[in-house]
Structures are given as structure tokens and as C-alpha cells.
Chains A and B, each alone.
Chain A
Amino acid sequence: MTATRTAAPAPRTETVVLGGLRPAELQALSARHGWSLSAGELCAIQSHFRGLKREPSLAELETLAQTWSEHCKHKTFTSPIRFSDGRKTRLIKSLIEETIFKATKQLKKPWCLSVFKDNAGFVSFGSKWSLAFKVETHNHPCAIEPYGGAETGVGGVIRDVMGAGLGAKPVLNTDVFCFAAPDYAGPLPEGALHPRRILNSVVSGVRDYGNRMGIPTAAGGLWFDDAYRLNPLVFCGTVGLAPAWAVRKEVKPGDLIVAAGGRTGRDGLHGATFSSAALEGAQLSAVQIGHAINEKKMLDALLVARDKRLYRGLTDCGAGGFSSAIGELAADCGARVRLEAALLKASDLAPWEIWLSESQERMVFAVPPKNLKAFKEVFAAESCETAVLGEFTSSGRLQVAHAGTPVVDLDMRFLHHGLPRAERTAVWSPAKSAPAKSPAHKKSLAQILTECLGHLNVCSREWVIRQYDHEVQGGTVIKPLQGIRHDGPGDACVIWPHAATGDAADFQGFAVSHGINPNHGKLDPYRMALACVDEALRNLLCVGADVSRAALLDNFCWGSPEDPVQLGALVRAAEGCRDAALGFGTPFISGKDSLYNQTKDVGGKDLAIPGTLLISALAPVPDVRKALTMDIKGPGNALYLAGLTAEELGGSLFHEVCGRCASCTVPSADPAAALSLFKLLQAALGKGLVLSAHDLSEGGLGVAAAEMCFTGEFGACLDLDELPRRAPIYSDEILLFSESPSRLLLEVAPDREAAFLKTMRGAPVKRVGTTMANPVLKVTGLDGRVALEAQLCDLKCAWQGALPRRLGA
């Protein structure tokens, strides 16, 4: 394969005849070309070109299809929805405006520097710096080629952060995956990859790209549910560090359009439209291959050029390639592009292919002409190729030509605002709770706890975590694996990014955590959203972050929004996000959605994923030297439970292990009450009154206590009668395994107890036990007798052995 500059193909403009076609014929045309455009959208295009008295070129239609795709325009979140909850029907004009954006606008936090405008959200970090944070998904590519899909997912989100503002240096990668069980034994349709293979390949892809780029992958999560067997979810996130002056970009007419990085080939055509459709019959040319070394070279050059202020704006070439990158940068002015100037991998690309190609590791810059020479020199020094593709104009038009022949000539207003908004219908009816029954199982508390610890959604992720380099850049203060043997679970990671800034005297760092629980969403998506935000914030709190400065990211992964029931659940989840953000006072700064995650299963029926919401949270840690880990630090210390326990087992791990034998009430967070508790806890942590803290999530108090004990290798005695609770509870197992939100287990030294209780005055905090040297977890039941006594080594074995065993490793 010899890389060449294009010159060979004869310039030609292929036109597509839309005139006279009926909606059904337009729909068939869209399907044939893989545009994922609806008949209504094509009718709007037909009418626009009828007004221009000409037919569109193929490249124009491809540009519109990419720009108007669900992937780029988030049609579901921005179009009107008629929502009915069984009692009344109301019209939501724009779901995103009325939920996520509304909360952020209302909260108006001065430290939110750039929200929902750019490739990533920016928050301030100290007086001189800012942090950019973005998490996005790469689900559809990972279903068909998991290694390449995961690599380009990581590469894409890193480029998002590199292209945010005037460019940020990536200092942390995060990854969260949702897969079917690795030992799934059920049937799979022809061509579908086994979940174990997807897990292996995705982990390898994330590992190889992140490690080669020299970015620590130190936060993440795994969730298993067999409903993900045909549509795995792969969330990749990156945090970047940028000077405070570099959060805004601009483009001025006359600036040159300069492409930098990899060459353009035929890879990944139709990526945006592909990811906006269900998987059946999708075009497999959408597979892209990542090249971490090229991206690293571009990153190094970009940071030098940024600090020399050689360009005014930049963005990455993601879905839609040059078409969406240049289209977005030129949205408020206009652009003239000469495609023959692009550097190509092969000489036989058609002009529309050059324009739409999704070859990886490419970025587009707006460079003032006087800076071009210096800009090129900086990139050449890193062996990074550049090409001037044209210039930004004030014409308000996107004009693309190839060797003098016009290929695209579109009005920017039509391109970005011409999309017709179709109204969708959404229906929501609360799931009927099964009546609570008396326990039907015959398992002892020790058995239940052991099974909970060995459950795929709780067990150790060490097999995955150890594959990632989480130490590179030398700033990982709180690591993903903690405790005396560095193998216990962490709540959140803490990063000290000043190795990159050189300011060794600044001890401020930041923490990143996630909240996810699709099981709650199956019963009540609204409460799931509240609980996810609550969990993400609790995780931050556990490591000593300042949750009053926490910023959130949302990622919705859903089935088809054309199904009113699924859309109804999506609306409820979005409303939950709004109420959680307002209640906790934590703004959303960026987000993403991935819809149509459904595929025909063996029987030919649609298998949709459970509605999945990932909340990612970022908060500063005022002094990383005071950051906490979750392992018990010594014997004889008091264990305090903060937060009220209620009979809330809907969607719980206890139900998965024992069947639905108790309350099916989905845990419901009360943001206002939780916030006041968190503030007091933060004060106690800040004063150094707490030795360790761990949040109670899946498996409740039982799992949290066991994890703290075996990670620190100290035992504990707990008395269930002492638990602070919302209403009387008469069952040991409910007290031990309830998943009521907003609760944390804290270890306090005896000489700090008085000060701790003084700080926590008025909060629902109670001493529930003591730590001890004997490596045993002992729980006294409501009847005063020992209800559970388990050796820590047995509990740890169950927790550590599950994933390798299920993987067959």
C-alpha cells in the first residue's frame, strides 16, 4: 500500500434524483445507501432542492445524512415528545432542554466554564487550570469487531478531549462495560460473537490504546446482564487538563482549514448513520482501526501549537469525518474546501468518500494564515502530516470541490437547522410491584453474603484492571485496587495531575467515579437516575473529594425510541437526572446518548438492552495527601453507618441471589436529605476524623462491610439492631442487604469519636460495630444472637475467584 496524494480520479459529481419520488421510494433509497434518514427527513431535503431547482449530489446527501443522524443531532432528545403517564398527557418540546440543560442553567455554577457547547465539558481546576471531561459510547462497532471498536472508542474520546476548547492534555481514561455473562450458554444468532469473546477483545482494545497513548486507565466498572448479549455497551471516558485560557475556541473567516494526523482512507464510512440504526444488515465497512502512536504524535504536536497560540479553533474528525468536523467548525461562518489537497492512503477514493471517511486520528484546525508556517513546523517535528484543505469564509455556505468540480454546496442554516422535528409518543406506566412474600429461600446469611460477593456485578474486577496501566504519568494517588495487598475494590480514583503542569507544590487533585444500576431501571427509571447520581457522589465522598464542586456527565443507552414504552422510560430517566442534579446541586456539563441498541435474537424477536444510564462524576480533591481508601485501618475502631436504611430491595442483588422474596420497592434517594448528610460527612472527612469510608450499593451493608474487612485484613462485629432506619424493619436479611441509597460505612478511631459525633450532630449516623484483629465478619441479629459469622478469607475467595472462574481463565 503506497500512500499518495490524490490526483488520479477524474473529478465527477454524482447526483441523486429525488424529484418525483414518493415517501416510500425515498425511504427505500435511504435504506439502499445506508443513510438512516426517515421519509420525512428526505421529503424536507427533496423540497429544499426543489426550491434550488436542482438535484442534490451524492456527497450533499451523505453530508446531510451524517449531520442529521441520531448520533450527531440527538434527534430523540431534541424533538417533541408526547408523553403520557396513564393519568395525563403532556408535550415535551425538547427532552434535553427541559431536563439536563435546565438543571445546569438553573444551578448556574460559576466554575462551569463550558457546558454542552464543545466536544467535552470544562470545569475550573484551581486558578490557572481547567478540567475537560467526556464519556461516550462505541457500542455498535464493538458488537461486530470488539477489539477495533474498543480501540477507536478510546481513541475517539481522547480526541474529543484533545479537541475541546483549544485542546486539553488527557490525564485519565475511564471505562465502563455492560456485557452478558462471560459463560453465557444460551443460543446466539448466526454471526453474533460470544460475550466472553467480546469481553476479552474489548478489554484488550481499551488496554492497548490507552497504554500506548501513555494515559492511565484508573476508573471504571463492569455490569453483567444477559440482555446485553447482542448489544454490548462500551463507555469510554477521558479527563483532560488545559490552561484556564484555553477553554474557548473561535473561527474567523480567512482562517485556513488545516487537517492534521492520519491520512484519509476508506475506513469507517457511514459510522454516524450506522450507529444510529439497529444492527441488522448494517454496513460492515463501518469498522475502523485505531493507531495509538499516530494519535500520540498528534497530541504532542497539538499541545506545543496550542501553547504557542498558533491556531484559533480545532475539532476532531469523528463520525462523518471531514464533513462533520468542518461543518461544525464553520457552522457560524462558512467554509470552502478543496478535497484534492487531502492526504490519502490510496489514490482511488471518490470525492464523497474523502469527505465522509472516518479514518482515525485526524483533526481539523482553524489556522490564521500568518501562523501556517510555524504550525506546519511544529507538526512536522513530530512526524505528523498536515494539509491545507481550504479556508473558512463568511458566506454561510459549505462549499466543497474536488479539482475544481463542485461536490457540495449547502446552506449552513439548512445543514444545521433544516432537520424536521418529528413528534414521538412516549408512554410510562409504573411496573406493578409484586407483593412482598415471606422468605421462601433456605439460605443462611453467610451463604447469601458469599453468593453476593461472588456475583458478577460485585466480584473483583482485578482480571480487567491489571491489564491497564493505571500508574503512567505518575499521578494516580488513589488507585483502582486498594488495601494492604492492593487487591480490594475502590470507590473512586484520585489523580494528581501536576506532574504534567510541573507545579509540584500544588496538592490539589481530582476524583472520578461512576454510578450505574440498570436493575433499578427495569422497575423505575426515575429512581434509577436518582440512585445513580447518588452513588456517583457517594463514591467521590468516600475518597475525600469536594462533592459541592462535583460535575456530572450523563450517558443514556437505550433500545429503539420508536417504541413508546422504551421512550417513556427514557423520559422518566431524564427527568430523574434533572431532579437529582437540582436536588444535589450538581450540574451536568456534558453527555451523550446511544439509542437503537436492539437486535433480532435467535427467535427473530427484537432483543433490546435494559435502559441503561451511566452517571460519571468529577470533583476536585482539595489535598490529595488527605485522600482516603476504603480498607479498614486497624482493630478496635468504631464503625459508623451514615444514612437511613429502609425496606428497599427492588432490583437488588439480594433478589437476584434469593429470588423476589421480600419488598420490591426500588431504592429511592432523597437528594435534599442526602445533600445535608454529605456536607456534614465531607466536613468530618476534611477534619481527618474518618479513617476509611465505603459506600453501600449492590449487596447493601453486608457486602460493603465484607469488602472493607477483607481489603484491610481486619475483622468486624456489627449489630443490626443499631442500624439507623427510616421505619421499623424486623428482618436481619433486609437490614443486611437492603440497597437504600445515600448510605456509607465509616471507620472512626476511638479518640476521634467525640469530635466525629459533634461534627455529624443532627445527621442519621449511628455506631453499628467495631473492628477487630480476628479476621472474621460477625453480625449480631435483631434477636441478639450471632446471625452471621464468616471467615474473611472465605469471603475474599468468593469475591476474587468469580470472574476468572466464569471466564475460564
Chain B
Amino acid sequence: MSDKTAVLAKETPETAAVKTAAAGPGSYLVEVCLKSDFTDAEGQSAQWLLNSAGLSARAVRVGRLYEMRGALNLGHVHVAVRELLCDCVTQEFRVWHASCAAPGNGCLWRVEVWLKPTVTDTVGESVRDALRDLGIPDIAVRCGLAYHIAGRCSRQQLDRAVARSLANPIVHRVSLHEAS
């Protein structure tokens, strides 16, 4: 996906503007993942873990999620992505407002794994500090992982397999989204 299509992906500028206005400024989500023509070793490892937990996933691709909250605008997010979070040679990114649902990518399931708010997010802290160095004001950053899973299974099966392999309920919160 090129930079042009990355911002507020799959939304027209008008709808994005409406949603942004409704949610208030400064709450963005960024997902960075390998371009589809690169082998996703992390995804393969996740697929192995899920399948050894009883699932029959055909393929898994992994994206890194960054939730940014604070006094920032879309321009700041672009600087953050281009300068820090994404290697545009091998990776692509999507940005959407926190009030919007995450855009789909054609997979049947999307699983998001975040550290619980009470658990220290050390990667988030490092990203925050690095953004400060880039001149982006003090904002809160939380990091998570998005798993795009191809394969048929019920929500219950997926939920159980994720809790056994990709997430630990002690420290993580998980959300499952089925493609509509």
C-alpha cells in the first residue's frame, strides 16, 4: 500500500473528516505491517502457535499497532510513521481515527492483542520518548499487535486458541473482529 492510500485507509476524505470531528482531535491508531510480497516470519510463528493450540489457520500476517493520544494532529502522525514506525521499503501502514473501526484487509479474522492499561507498556514508552525527540509533543502511546488470520473457525474456537497461544489474560486484553 502506498503512502497515498495509507492515511485513513478505505475512507473518503469527507467521511474521515466527519469521524475525526465527532471523536475530537488527537486519538489515532496506526498499523504497520510487512508488504504482502514479503515473507512474514512473525505471522508464520503465530500461525504455528495458533495451530498447535487447536486452530486450523491457513495463514497469519502480523501488524504492529500504535495508539497515540494527546495533542497531536494527522501531520504529527505522518511524521511519526515516516520517521520512526514504518520502513516504507518493506512495510506499509494504515492510519485511522480511534473512533473508527479498523479497516479490514480481506482476512476472515482480525485479532488485536494489547497490554492491559494497568500493565507498563515499555515499547509504548520508548515510542513516546522517540516522538518527543522528533518534536512531537508529549503524548501517550500504547502498542499492540494485530493478527490477520485466514481460516475458518468459530469465534469461540479462535478465542480459546488465542488465549492459549498469543495472549495471556493476566496481562493482555484481546479483541476479535470478524470480517463482515
Contact = CB atoms under 8 A, between A and B. Distances in A.
A251 B129 CA distance: 34
B76 interface: no
A289 B140 CA distance: 18
A809 interface: yes
B171 interface: yes
Measured as residues with beta carbon below 8 angstroms from the partner, the interface class of chain A is: 20 to 34
Contact of A808 (B52, B124, B170): B52
A359 B119 CA distance: 11
A197 B164 contact: yes
A193 B140 contact: no
Given A197-B165, A287-B171, A808-B52, A265 B140 contact: no
Interface in B127-164: 129, 138, 140, 142, 164
B26 to A, nearest CB: 13
A291 B125 contact: yes
Given A293-B126, A808-B52, A265 B168 contact: no
Interface of B: 48-49, 52, 115, 118-122, 124-126, 129, 138, 140, 142, 164-165, 168, 170-171
Contacts, number: 50
B128 to A, nearest CB: 8
Contacts of A288: 120
Interface of A: 1-2, 144-145, 147-148, 193-194, 196-197, 200, 265-267, 284, 287-291, 293-294, 345, 359, 383, 808-809
A753 to B, nearest CB: 50
Nearest to A265: B120
Nearest to B115: A289
A148 B171 CA distance: 9
Contact of A289 (B122, B126, B164): B122
Given A293-B126, A808-B52, A1 B140 contact: yes
Nearest to B70: A2
A204 to B, nearest CB: 10
Nearest to A196: B52
Given A267-B120, A289-B122, A809-B48, A2 B138 contact: yes
Nearest to A200: B49
B48 A808 contact: yes
A199 to B, nearest CB: 12
Nearest to B123: A291
A284 B49 contact: no
A72 to B, nearest CB: 23
Given A145-B171, A197-B164, A287-B171, 16 more contacts: A1-B124, A1-B125, A145-B168, A147-B168, A266-B118, A267-B119, A267-B120, A287-B119, A287-B170, A289-B120, A289-B121, A290-B122, A291-B120, A294-B122, A345-B120, A809-B48
Interface centre among A144, A148, A194, A383 (most CB of B within 10 A): A148
Nearest to A808: B52
26 contacts: A1-B121, A1-B124, A1-B142, A2-B140, A144-B168, A145-B168, A145-B170, A145-B171, A147-B168, A193-B168, A194-B164, A197-B49, A197-B164, A267-B119, A284-B170, A287-B119, A288-B120, A289-B115, A289-B119, A289-B121, A289-B122, A290-B122, A291-B125, A294-B122, A383-B129, A808-B52
A288 B119 CA distance: 8
Contacts of A267: 119-120
Nearest to B52: A808
Contacts of B122: 289-291, 293-294
B126 A291 contact: yes
A88 B126 CA distance: 61
Contacts of B170: 144-145, 284, 287
B145 to A, nearest CB: 13
A197 B115 CA distance: 18
Nearest to B138: A2
Contacts of A1: 121, 124-125, 140, 142
Nearest to A193: B168
A808 B47 CA distance: 12
A315 to B, nearest CB: 22
